[in-house]
Amino acid sequence: MTPIRTVAVAAALSLAATQAFAHAFLKTSDPAVGSTVSRAPAQVEITFTEGVEPHFSTIVVTNAQGAQVQSGAPHLAGSDRQLAVALRPLPPGVYTVVWHATATDTHRTQGKFTFTVAGS
Amino acid sequence: MRTNLVAAALLSAGMALLAVDRARAHVVAGDRVFPVTLTFDDPGVGDEVTLPQFVYAPGPGGQNEYQFQWEYDKTITPTTAVIYNQGWDVLQQPGSKTRTGFENVVLTGKWQSITLPQSETVVSLGVIREFAGGYATQGIGGDATGATAPTGYFGQGLGALPIGLLRPLAVTGELSYIIPDHRLNTAGDNNGQPFAWNGGLSVQYSIPYLQQNVKHFGMPDLIGRLIPLVELDWFSPAAGPAHGLPETLTVAPGVIYLGDTYQVGLEALIPGNKAAGPHVGAILQVHFFLDDIFPHSLGRPIFN
C-alpha cells in the first residue's frame, strides 16, 4: 500500500469511526463513583458511553455485609445509554455497585464502584 | 540486525526501529482496558488497524530517520489472530543521497491463551516472523535475512490494590527470543544476525479506570480519557558474535488518549544507554478498533 493510499484509508476510517458502535463504558453515575451522599438515594443510575441492552445488562448493589439492596430489575431511564435500578431504603454505610453491560453491538463490559451514605 | 555499513550507521537510531516494528493490539479483561502500547505489542488479540504511525529517530552526525508505519490485526477466532506490520522509511544522512524504502514485512500469529477478568490478567503466546526484504529495504537498515521469534505476552491490572488511587495502575510486557535464518559469523561479514532477546515493559496509569471504578473527579473528557505511561524496550544479543549490535535500552514516556473507537498515542523515545543513540526521538500513533467500528463485518472473527 502506498503512503497516499494509506492516508486515504485512514481518512475513511476516521469518518466511519464517528458513526460506529463501541464498548459501553461508564461515563457518569448517580450517586457518583466513590462519592459520599448525605441522603440515601432512591436508585442507582449509570450513564454509559454507548447504548445498552437492558435485558442483557445488570446492576447489583450490595451493602458492607454483601447483601443485595436493589429492588427489581434494571431498566432504561430516558435513553438507551442510561440504565437505572431502584434501591430499598438504605441506612448509612458503604455500598458496592457491580454492573455488567451488553452494548447494542453485543460487546460486553463490566465495572464496579462504591458510594457511601453518610450517617445523620 | 545485519552488519553492513548502512546498518552500522543506523545503529543508534536503529534502536527505535527495533522498538517499533512489531504488532500492537488492545484487550479488555474484566474492569480493565489495556490500551495499545506504542513500542511493543499488547497482551491480547483484536480486530484493529494502526494507520498511521510516525516515528522520528535522530541518529549521530546529523542523521535523521523518519518511519511511516501501518498494521492490520485480524482475528481468526475470538482468541487467535494474525497480524501484519510494515512501514516506509526515509533516511537522511549529511553528504549522502536520501534513501527511502519499505521495511521488512512482519507477520505475527498470536493466541490469547489466558484471560482472567476477576484479576484483570491476560497472557498470550505468539510467533513473530520477519521476512527479509530486497535491496531498497536493506538500504534503509532492514535485515538482509529473516528471523523467527517465539514470544510471550502478559498484562496485569492492579485493581486489587488496597489503596484506591493506585488501582488504576497496570503493567504489560512482552519477551521474544529472536532466531535468525542466517546466523552471524564470528567475522561479522556474512550479513547474518545474532540470536537475541527483545523485551518490552510498560507501566500505565488509567484515568478512565480511576473515574469509572475508584472516584469520579468530574474531569473534562479530554483529560478523563488519558492514560499516562512509560514503556521500556530492551534488546540484547543472546549468545555468540553480535558485531555492531550491542545491548540497548529505550525509555518511552508518553500519553495515550483512549477514544470509543480509536486511540491516539504520543511518546518520546529516550535512549536508555549509550548504545541506544545520542538523541531523543518521538513516536505518534493513530489506532482504530475495527471490532467497534465494524462490529458485524470486518470487526468479527472469521470463526466466531
- pLDDT by residue (tens digit) across A99-109? 999 998 888 99
Whole-number percent of chain A with pLDDT over 90: 75
SS3 content of chain A, % helix, strand, coil (to 5): 15, 50, 35
Per-residue model confidence (pLDDT) at position B249: 96
Contact (CB, 8 A) for B257 and B265: yes
The answer, yes or no, to whether residue B274 has pLDDT greater than 80, is yes
Q: Cβ of A1 under 8 Å from any chain B Cβ?
A: yes
Q: How many angstroms separate the CA of residue B67 from the nearest CA in chain A?
A: 11
**What residue ranges in chain B does DSSP mark as E strands?**
27-29, 32-34, 48-58, 64-77, 80-92, 99-102, 106-116, 121-130, 147-157, 169-180, 195-205, 226-239, 248-258, 262-271, 281-289
ipTM for the predicted complex: 0.87
Contact (CB, 8 A) for B103 and B14: no
The shortest CB-CB distance from A13 to any of B51, B117, B295 is to B51
Contact (CB, 8 A) for A40 and A90: yes
B103-106: long-range pairs with CB below 8 Å, 24+: B103/B21, B103/B67, B103/B69, B103/B133, B103/B137, B103/B140, B103/B142, B104/B21, B104/B130, B104/B131, B104/B132, B104/B133, B104/B137, B104/B142, B104/B143, B104/B146, B105/B130, B105/B131, B105/B133, B106/B21, B106/B22, B106/B23, B106/B130, B106/B131
Total CB pairs under 8 A between chain A and B: 83
The band of B17, judged by pLDDT with boundaries at 50, 70 and 90, is very low
Question: In the Cβ-directed half-sphere of B67, how many Cα atoms lie within 13 Å?
Answer: 31
Q: In what order do the strands lie in the sheet with A43-48?
A: A26-30, A43-48, A79-87, A70-77
Q: Cβ of B114 under 8 Å from any chain A Cβ?
A: no
The band of A21, judged by pLDDT with boundaries at 50, 70 and 90, is low
> Which grid coordinates are listed for A40?
440515601
**What residue ranges in chain A does DSSP mark as E strands?**
26-30, 36-37, 43-48, 58-62, 70-77, 79-87, 93-102, 108-117
Please choose, from the candidates B286, B250, B289, the residue with its C-alpha nearest in 3D space to the C-alpha of residue B266.
Answer: B286
Q: How many angstroms separate the CA of residue B115 from the nearest CA in chain A?
A: 14
For residues A20 and A7, give the distance between their C-alpha atoms in angstroms, rounded to a whole number: 20
Q: Cβ of B274 under 8 Å from any chain A Cβ?
A: no
Contact (CB, 8 A) for B274 and B296: no
Model confidence pLDDT, tens digit, residues A24-65: 999 999 999 999 999 999 999 999 999 999 999 999 999 999
The shortest CB-CB distance from A26 to any of B117, B164, B212 is to B212
Question: What is the SS3 assignment for B69?
Answer: strand
Model confidence pLDDT, tens digit, residues B84-139: 999 999 999 999 999 999 999 999 999 999 999 999 999 999 999 999 877 667 77
The answer, yes or no, to whether residue A7 has pLDDT greater than 60, is no
Check CB contact under 8 Å for B215 and A35: yes
Contact (CB, 8 A) for A26 and A111: yes
What are the residues facing B193 on neighbouring strands?
B183
Let me know the angle formed at the C-alpha of B9 by B191 and B51, rounded to the nearest 5 degrees.
90
Which DSSP state fits B290? Answer: H
Peptide bond before residue B52 is cis, with ω within 30 degrees of 0: yes
The shortest CB-CB distance from A34 to any of B117, B216, B286 is to B216
Comparing B242-246, B254-258, B266-270, B299-303, the range with the smallest average pLDDT is: B242-246
> Which grid coordinates are listed for B166?
493506585
The band of B7, judged by pLDDT with boundaries at 50, 70 and 90, is very low
The answer, yes or no, to whether residue B174 has pLDDT greater than 60, is yes
Question: In the Cβ-directed half-sphere of A57, how many Cα atoms lie within 13 Å?
Answer: 34
The answer, yes or no, to whether residue B193 has pLDDT greater than 90, is no
Q: Cβ of A94 under 8 Å from any chain B Cβ?
A: no
B78: Cβ contacts below 8 Å, ≥ 6 apart = B301, B304
Q: CA separation (Å) from B132 to A72, B147, B173, B191?
A: 62, 8, 26, 11
Give the chain B residue nearest A19 (alpha carbons): B293
Please choose, from the candidates B22, B75, B80, the residue with its C-alpha nearest in 3D space to the C-alpha of residue B50.
Answer: B22
Comparing A4-13, A106-115, B1-10, the range with the smallest average pLDDT is: B1-10
Helical spans, DSSP H, in chain B: 5-9, 11-20, 135-139, 207-209, 221-224, 290-293
What residues of B are in contact with residue A6 (Cβ under 8 Å)? 51-52, 68, 70
Contact (CB, 8 A) for B181 and B132: yes
Per-residue model confidence (pLDDT) at position B241: 60
